[in-house]
A and B are shown apart, each in its own frame.
Chain A
Amino acid sequence: MSEIPGTTSAGDASVDRGSRTKLRLNASMIIGAILILLIVALALVSFVWTPYGPSAVDPAARLQPSSPEHPFGTDKFGRDTLTWIMYGARITLMVGIVAVGIAVLIGTPIGIIAAVFAQYPWGVWLSAVIMRANDILLAFPALLLAIVFAAVYQPGTGPAMVAVGIAAIPGFARVARSGTMQVLGSEYVRAAKASNRTAPAIAIVHVLPNIAGMVIVQASVAFAISVLAEAGLSFLGLGTQAPVPSWGRMLQESQQFLSTQPLLALWPGLFIALAVLGFNLLGDGLRDRFDPKMEARGNG
Chain B
Amino acid sequence: MAENLLEVRNLTITPTGAEAPVLHDVSLSLAPGERVGLIGESGSGKSLTAQSVMGLLPEELQAQGTVSLQGFAGNILDAKERTLAKMRSDLVSMVFQEPMSALNPLMRIGDQIAEVLRIHGEVARGDIPGRVLDLLTSVHLPDPNSARYAYPHQMSGGQRQRVMLAIALANSPRLLICDEPTTALDVTVQKHMLDLISERVATVQAGLLFITHDLAVVAGVCDRVIVMYAGRIVETGSVTQIFTDPQHEYTRGLLASSDLDATDAHGKLFTLKTALSYAGPVDGAGPIDEAGSDDEDEQSAADGPADVREPAPASARETSTGDGSAPLIDVSGVSKHFRSRGLLLRRRSPVRALDDITFSVASGQRLGIVGESGSGKSTLLNLLSGLDRPTAGRVRVGDIRVESASSSALRSLRDDLQIVFQDPFASLDPRMRVEDIVSEPLVARGTAREERLARVEEMLLAVDLDTKAMRRYPHQFSGGQRQRISIARALVTRPQILVADEPVSALDVSVRSQVLNLLTDLVDDYALTLLFVSHDLGVVKHLCSDVIVMKDGHIVESGSTEDIYAHPREEYTRSLIAATPSLAGALASAT
In-complex A–B contact (CB below 8 Å): yes
Cα distance A61–B385 when bound, in Å?
81
Cα distance A7–B250 when bound, in Å?
10
Taking the complex as formed, is A11 at the interface, i.e. its CB lies under 8 A from any CB of chain B?
yes
A289 to chain B, nearest CB (A): 13
Taking the complex as formed, is B189 at the interface, i.e. its CB lies under 8 A from any CB of chain A?
no
Whether B479 and A12, one on each chain, are in contact in the complex, defined by CB atoms closer than 8 angstroms, is: yes
Cα distance A124–B415 when bound, in Å?
29
Given the known inter-chain contacts A188-B426, A195-B414, please indicate yes or no for A7 contacting B444, CB distance below 8 A: no
Cα distance A175–B511 when bound, in Å?
38
Whether B440 and A195, one on each chain, are in contact in the complex, defined by CB atoms closer than 8 angstroms, is: yes
Q: Which of B288-296, B350-358, B469-477 contacts A (4 or more CB under 8 A)?
A: B469-477
Whether B476 and A16, one on each chain, are in contact in the complex, defined by CB atoms closer than 8 angstroms, is: yes
Given the known inter-chain contacts A4-B229, A5-B230, A195-B489, please indicate yes or no for A187 contacting B481, CB distance below 8 A: no
Give the residue name and chain of the B residue nearest to A118 (CB).
B341
> A interface vs B, CB < 8 Å?
2-5, 7, 10-17, 19-21, 124, 128, 186-188, 190-198, 201, 205-206, 209-210, 295, 299-300
Cα distance A258–B443 when bound, in Å?
67
B55 to chain A, nearest CB (A): 21
Q: Which of B79-87, B417-425, B535-543, B551-559 contacts A (4 or more CB under 8 A)?
A: B417-425
Whether B343 and A2, one on each chain, are in contact in the complex, defined by CB atoms closer than 8 angstroms, is: no
CB neighbours of A210 from chain B (8 A): 429-431
Number of chain B residues close to chain A: CB under 8 A = 58
Taking the complex as formed, is B466 at the interface, i.e. its CB lies under 8 A from any CB of chain A?
yes
Cα distance A3–B437 when bound, in Å?
35
Taking the complex as formed, is B580 at the interface, i.e. its CB lies under 8 A from any CB of chain A?
no
B200 to chain A, nearest CB (A): 28
Q: Which one of A7, A12, A21, A300 contacts B473 once the chains associate, using CB atoms below 8 Å? A: A21
Q: Which one of B271, B428, B444 contacts A195 once the chains associate, using CB atoms below 8 Å? A: B444
Q: Which one of B248, B341, B387, B415 contacts A190 once the chains associate, using CB atoms below 8 Å? A: B387
Q: Which one of B249, B418, B426, B465 contacts A194 once the chains associate, using CB atoms below 8 Å? A: B418
- Per CB-CB distance, the 10 closest pairs between chain A and chain B, nearest first, are A195-B441, A187-B427, A196-B444, A12-B480, A2-B249, A188-B429, A187-B421, A187-B426, A209-B431, A12-B511
Cα distance A21–B480 when bound, in Å?
22
Give the residue name and chain of the B residue nearest to A20 (CB).
B475
The residue among A7, A16, A194, A197 with the most chain B CB atoms within 10 A of its own CB is: A194
Cα distance A100–B410 when bound, in Å?
41
Give the residue name and chain of the B residue nearest to A129 (CB).
B343
Number of A-B contacts (CB under 8 A): 119
Give the residue name and chain of the B residue nearest to A2 (CB).
B249
Whether A14 and B343, one on each chain, are in contact in the complex, defined by CB atoms closer than 8 angstroms, is: no
Question: What are 5 pairs between A and B in contact, CB < 8 Å?
Answer: A2-B249, A4-B253, A12-B510, A17-B476, A206-B429
Q: Which one of A3, A15, A187, A295 contacts B477 once the chains associate, using CB atoms below 8 Å? A: A15
Cα distance A201–B429 when bound, in Å?
14
CB neighbours of A300 from chain B (8 A): 42
Whether B387 and A194, one on each chain, are in contact in the complex, defined by CB atoms closer than 8 angstroms, is: yes
Cα distance A299–B387 when bound, in Å?
30
Taking the complex as formed, is B101 at the interface, i.e. its CB lies under 8 A from any CB of chain A?
no
Q: Which one of B422, B441, B466 contacts A196 once the chains associate, using CB atoms below 8 Å? A: B441
Taking the complex as formed, is B445 at the interface, i.e. its CB lies under 8 A from any CB of chain A?
yes
Taking the complex as formed, is B118 at the interface, i.e. its CB lies under 8 A from any CB of chain A?
no
Whether A201 and B444, one on each chain, are in contact in the complex, defined by CB atoms closer than 8 angstroms, is: yes
A50 to chain B, nearest CB (A): 44
Whether B430 and A295, one on each chain, are in contact in the complex, defined by CB atoms closer than 8 angstroms, is: yes
Cα distance A15–B418 when bound, in Å?
27
Whether B425 and A299, one on each chain, are in contact in the complex, defined by CB atoms closer than 8 angstroms, is: yes
Cα distance A61–B387 when bound, in Å?
76
Given the known inter-chain contacts A7-B273, A188-B429, please indicate yes or no for A14 contacting B475, CB distance below 8 A: no
Q: Which one of A2, A15, A196, A201 contacts B414 once the chains associate, using CB atoms below 8 Å? A: A196
Cα distance A295–B474 when bound, in Å?
12
Given the known inter-chain contacts A187-B426, A196-B411, please indicate yes or no for A12 contacting B476, CB distance below 8 A: no
Q: Which one of A10, A188, A201, A205 contacts B428 once the chains associate, using CB atoms below 8 Å? A: A188
Taking the complex as formed, is B122 at the interface, i.e. its CB lies under 8 A from any CB of chain A?
no
Given contact pairs A12-B480, A196-B445, A205-B432, enumerate 11 new A-B contacts (beta carbons under 8 Å): A2-B248, A10-B481, A13-B478, A186-B429, A188-B426, A188-B437, A190-B421, A191-B486, A194-B417, A195-B444, A210-B431
B475 to chain A, nearest CB (A): 6
B333 to chain A, nearest CB (A): 22
Cα distance A15–B480 when bound, in Å?
11
Give the residue name and chain of the B residue nearest to A13 (CB).
B478
Given the known inter-chain contacts A7-B273, A10-B464, please indicate yes or no for A191 contacting B480, CB distance below 8 A: no
B280 to chain A, nearest CB (A): 18
Cα distance A194–B431 when bound, in Å?
19
Taking the complex as formed, is B272 at the interface, i.e. its CB lies under 8 A from any CB of chain A?
yes
Q: Which one of A11, A16, A192 contacts B273 once the chains associate, using CB atoms below 8 Å? A: A11
Cα distance A124–B341 when bound, in Å?
8
The residue among A5, A14, A19 with the most chain B CB atoms within 10 A of its own CB is: A14
Give B425-455 interface residues, CB cut-off 8 Å to A.
425-432, 437, 440-441, 443-445
The residue among B234, B440, B477, B489 with the most chain A CB atoms within 10 A of its own CB is: B440
Cα distance A191–B514 when bound, in Å?
23
Cα distance A38–B339 when bound, in Å?
56
Give the residue name and chain of the A residue nearest to B436 (CB).
A205
Whether B429 and A14, one on each chain, are in contact in the complex, defined by CB atoms closer than 8 angstroms, is: no
